[in-house]
């Protein structure tokens, strides 16, 4: 019997581990397993909304597997340390000879998987692992000097060359397997997860399942992908793919996304589409975790830059940012979108992160943790990479200390205040630029700015420059 261990790869199509197990089964049953580990989720700051979304997708996966005669077993573990023994005990009960899974790249997961490998090998059981979360295997893409890429643009160029040379195709759904006498376990409905933030999964915003993910992909590729580059930064527009939560739990793969873009968009230059670049960014951050493992310890990619910064410990400023009560309309709208939905437009992720780190002078780690505790698409690699980039301590080619002005960003990307009025209803009675003017905002109950922007910007730049 073959055992397939599902983690954040909750799909039956383009799943190397599942496909390979079914090919190797040789007429014997295939059983799937997933592990529930709330204590580990808590340790890693998994958002409650993400956990509930993951469980809902696990339920959809169980149905898809049942159609293939593959029962899904559910194990419970307190933490990753308990997972290897749990898997071995299940394998012993079911007379399993091989376990199959797809790689994850964060340190917690790598240590867990290494422990599973060693334990199973010690008991003469085969371990087969695959790279399904990335299109190009981390650790294999190198510059002309044979070194890992440290900047995105040359990485993306090399990535596209490798992709074109190898052209990895998506895998089909495996054929139905022989009937299995093992009974599937029920998926817990509304698992109690004692997270410090009880963020809510809104199923009307994010319906679970691979079918939903592929429908979104088709709609995006057909109607939005052509104008994605020009429209993606305007948060009031419905211009993004809205696929990030599905990619995070693996209801759809990056390979499937590219295949869908190619098939549905009709664009012969699809590989150079801006949305393709966003998928490559996702890969880039995973490659960085493997090539620079110290990042897993929340150490900066550029320690020389962080050594020049002084972080403030003003909890009041941080709490105002968390609540979306800074007095800067665009920042606050982004934070309120996050609090209400578990998701935030990417432009606003950059604006709010820059505001916290550059103007409030708060340690980027605090912001990264807050995001992970609230995001339905919380992803360790992408979240870590994005926050380090925003704080100027990450993989960024910019030779200067970038500070996003919330006022200029609003003028460029929400000139009529449509987005801020959507998430701060009291501003809806105001018109145009009044929605961004703190004095007008105060008249309708909004807080005054918690900092003087010009002074804060000058202080931040002085801090950076004086230490250089």
Show Cβ contacts of residue 303 under 8 Å, excluding neighbours closer than 6 positions.
393
Residue 158 near residue 143, CB atoms below 8 Å: yes
Rg (the chain; Cα; Å): 23
Provide the 3-class DSSP secondary structure of residue 381. Answer: helix
Q: For residue 96, is it left (φ>0), alpha (ψ between -120 and 50) or beta?
A: beta
Q: Name the phi and psi angles at 266, rounded to 5.
A: 70, 15
User: Annotated catalytic residue: which of 222, 281, 325, 418?
Assistant: 281
| Helix, strand, or coil (residue 445) | coil
Residues 6 or more apart whose CB falls under 8 angstroms from that of 49 comprise 199, 200, 201, 202, 342, 374, 375, 376
d(CA 232, CA 246): 19
Helix 364-374 to helix 315-323 angle (10° resolution) is 30
Q: Tell me, yes or no, if 278 is annotated catalytic.
A: yes
CB 133 within 8 A of CB 286: yes
Kind and range of the H or E run holding 23:
helix 16-24
Q: Among the options 128, 278, 325, 418, which is catalytic?
A: 278
Q: Is 364 an active-site residue?
A: yes
Task: Give dist(CA 58, CA 51) in Å, integer.
Answer: 10
CA distances for 415 relative to 235, 307, 338, 419, angstroms: 11, 37, 21, 9
Sign of the Cα torsion 429, 433, 435, 438 reads negative
Catalytic residue among 81, 128, 311, 418: 311
* Candidates 5, 364, 389, 423; catalytic one: 364
54 is catalytic: no
Determine which helix (DSSP H) or strand (DSSP E) holds 21, and give its type and residue range.
helix 16-24
Q: Which residues contact 435 (CB under 8 A, 6 or more apart)?
A: 329, 417, 420, 421, 427, 441
Task: Name, in order, each residue with C-beta under 8 angstroms of 464's C-beta and a sequence gap of 6 or more.
Answer: 308, 309, 401
Exactly one of 206, 270, 343, 387 is catalytic; which is it? 387
Q: Is 321 tagged catalytic?
A: no
Q: Is 57 exposed, middle or buried (0-12, 13-18, 19+ CB in 10 A)?
A: buried
Calculate the CA 184 to chain-centre distance.
29
Kindly state the tokens that stand for 366.
């605090």
Residue whose pair of structure tokens reads 């961004």 in the numeric block:
436
First to last CA, the chain: 61
The question of whether 346 is a catalytic residue gets the answer yes
104 is catalytic: no
Q: Please identify every residue annotated as catalytic.
A: 278, 281, 311, 346, 364, 387
């Amino acid at each position: 019997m073959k055992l397939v261990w599902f983690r954040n790869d909750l799909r039956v199509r383009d799943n190397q581990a599942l496909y390979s197990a079914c090919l190797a089964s040789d007429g014997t049953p295939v059983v799937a397993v997933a592990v529930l580990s709330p204590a580990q989720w808590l340790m890693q700051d998994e958002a409650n909304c993400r956990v509930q979304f993951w469980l809902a997708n696990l339920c959809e996966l169980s149905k898809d597997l049942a159609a293939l005669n593959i029962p899904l077993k559910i194990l419970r573990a307190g933490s990753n340390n308990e997972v290897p023994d749990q898997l071995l005990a299940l394998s012993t009960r079911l007379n399993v000879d091989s376990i199959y899974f797809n790689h994850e790249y964060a340190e917690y997961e790598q240590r867990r998987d290494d422990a599973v490998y060693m334990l199973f090998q010690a008991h003469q059981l085969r371990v087969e692992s695959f790279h399904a979360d990335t299109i190009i295997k981390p650790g294999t893409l190198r510059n002309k000097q044979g070194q890992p890429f440290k900047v995105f643009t040359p990485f993306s160029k090399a990535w596209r060359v490798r992709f074109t040379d190898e052209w990895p195709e998506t895998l089909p759904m495996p054929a139905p397997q022989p009937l299995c006498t093992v009974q599937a376990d029920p998926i817990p409905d509304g698992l109690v997860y004692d997270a410090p933030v009880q963020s809510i999964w809104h199923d009307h915003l994010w319906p679970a399942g691979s079918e939903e993910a592929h429908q979104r992909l088709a709609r995006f590729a057909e109607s939005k992908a052509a104008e994605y580059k020009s429209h993606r930064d305007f948060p009031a527009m419905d211009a993004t793919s809205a696929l990030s939560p599905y990619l995070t739990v693996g209801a759809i793969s990056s390979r499937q996304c590219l295949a869908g873009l190619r098939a549905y968009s009709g664009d012969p230059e699809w590989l150079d589409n801006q949305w393709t670049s966003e998928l490559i960014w996702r890969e880039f951050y995973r490659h960085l975790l493997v090539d620079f493992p110290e990042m897993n310890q929340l150490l900066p990619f550029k320690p020389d830059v962080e050594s020049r910064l002084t972080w403030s410990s003003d909890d009041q400023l941080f709490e105002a940012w968390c609540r979306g009560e800074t007095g800067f309309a665009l920042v606050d709208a982004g934070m309120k979108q996050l609090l209400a939905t578990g998701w935030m437009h990417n432009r606003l992720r950059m604006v709010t992160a820059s505001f916290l780190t550059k103007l409030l002078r708060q340690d980027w780690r605090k912001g990264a943790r807050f995001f992970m505790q609230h995001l339905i698409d919380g992803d360790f690699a992408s979240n870590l990479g994005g926050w380090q980039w925003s704080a100027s301590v990450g993989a960024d080619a910019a030779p200067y200390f970038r500070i996003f002005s919330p006022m200029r960003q609003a003028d460029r990307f929400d000139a009529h205040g449509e987005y801020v009025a959507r998430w701060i209803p009291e501003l809806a009675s105001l018109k145009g630029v009044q929605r961004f003017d703190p004095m007008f905002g105060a008249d309708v109950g909004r807080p005054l700015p918690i900092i003087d922007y010009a002074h804060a910007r000058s202080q931040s730049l002085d801090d950076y420059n004086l230490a250089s």
